[in-house]
Structure 1
Amino acid sequence: MAAVLAPTLVSTLWPAPSGSSRAARNVLLALVGTLALTVSAKTQIPFWPVPMTMQTFVVLVIGMAYGARLGVATIALYLLEGALGLPVFAGTPEKGVGLAYMMGPTGGYLLGFVAGAWLCGWLAERGFDRSPLRTLVAMSLGHALIFVFGVSWLAQLIGFDKAFATGVAPFWAATIVKTLLGVATLPLAWKWIGRLK
């Protein structure tokens, strides 16, 4: 017997119609998601010890707001845009574009975006975006998964110790901030939707 999935934020705010209208809705949502990802990658917020982007926050919120399937499709579209040479990633076009950029040091994190969005979407479909505590669990697991992919990839290039020192240690404080922001944002969005109804 299949599990009954909880509605996502997006499906509650904009229920999916049938047929071609559904496909058009999903394409529009995916494009909006890739735009948000691009803006989040390009925006640098002064922070300690390194400047912070909001990209992992946006990745995980897309997963939770869209659900696993549409969330992953959105991240995959974003990666396709990057693979085709569009300057959608952090540091592009200055640090290169396309597949050459994606095969570099950040490649594992980009793959981790897919995994993190899927996990957070899967958890959201089971109600993990409704309460602060469960959102904290989902966001923490999503961030951890992104780091696992990123450090594993980076370790193949420079060794695990250096990969951890450059790919995790400078970002722990920003990751906590982004996780807590998700904890504040998603349950509040659901509360707001409840008041509208």
Structure 2
Amino acid sequence: MALALNDKVLTEVYGPSTGTALRIKQVAMVVLGIAVLAIAAKIKVPVPGSPVAMNMGTFAVLTIGAAYGPRLGLTTILGYMIVGMLGFDIFQSSTADLNGINYMMGSTGGYLVGYVLATLALGFAARAGWDRSMGKMALAMLLGNVIIYLPGVAWLGVLYGFDQPILQWGLTPFLIGDALKLALAALLLPAIWKLVGDARK
């Protein structure tokens, strides 16, 4: 049975819904989303034995995807990637010396690809109404994490060799932290919808 993808997402509940005012709101949301992604990426905790640090980036990516929907969410994450590609220090471990394309082709490159795909997936899940249920939101967040990790770990294998402990570097150290972030996001979005009530109807 096909999913119905016609539910409103959170960013569509408030503010203008047509015309120039809508476009201004959307531009503001994209700029805000890019700023949130940049800040979340810099909230990081080094993980011993792994070339990839733990951060709040996945939480921000999945939450923005669900709150913005597929189109605005994809625009936001692509905007974030373009700003980073231009050399601005907005990625997890980018610096004044290591940034732009060179950084994006490094050990976190696969996760950045996963960010784009996961944002789109969470946007479609929200459009199907999954963001109103804790159970469905938790499932969507879990799927989003899987989508991030698949290209992330695969790219580590390409860079360092699949005979290396790439799961120990890029997956297992982050599972507990991601489970906590997943639970937080799964509680947050349905709770906001509960506050919104029938405003979307």
Length-normalised TM-score, structure 1: 0.91
Equivalence for 1:81? 83
Aligned-residue offset at 1:52:
3.7
Distance 2:25 2:144 in 1: 26
Equivalence for 1:167? 170
Q: Aligned AA for 1:42?
A: K
Equivalence for 1:29? 29
Equivalence for 2:15? 14
Distance 2:75 2:14 in 1: 19
Distance 2:63 2:49 in 1: 24
Distance 1:153 1:47 in 2: 18
Q: Aligned AA for 1:83?
A: M
Equivalence for 1:179? 182
Q: Aligned AA for 1:91?
A: S
Q: Aligned AA for 2:27?
A: V
Q: Give ranges in structure 1 of 5+ residues lacking alignment.
A: none
Trace 1:1-197 onto structure 2 (pairs within 5 A). 3=4, 5-18=6-19, 20-44=20-44, 52-93=54-95, 96-160=98-162, 161-194=164-197
Aligned-residue offset at 1:17:
2.1
Give the match's secondary structure for 2:17: coil
Question: Once the two structures are aligned, what percentage of the paired residues are identical?
Answer: 36
Q: Aligned AA for 1:156?
A: V
Aligned-residue offset at 1:54:
1.0
Aligned-residue offset at 1:23:
2.3
Q: Give ranges in structure 2 of 5+ residues lacking alignment.
A: none
Distance 1:49 1:153 in 2: 17
Distance 1:36 1:79 in 2: 13
Distance 1:194 1:115 in 2: 30
Aligned residue pairs: how many? Answer: 195
Moved more, 153-162 or 81-90: 153-162
Distance 1:195 1:24 in 2: 25
Distance 2:98 2:136 in 1: 39
Length-normalised TM-score, structure 2: 0.89
Give the match's secondary structure for 1:88: coil
For residues 29-79 of structure 1, the C-alpha deviation after alignment (integer angstroms, 9 at most, x for no partner) is 011000000110111368999864211011001000000111011000000
Distance 2:87 2:171 in 1: 27
Q: Aligned AA for 2:13?
A: T
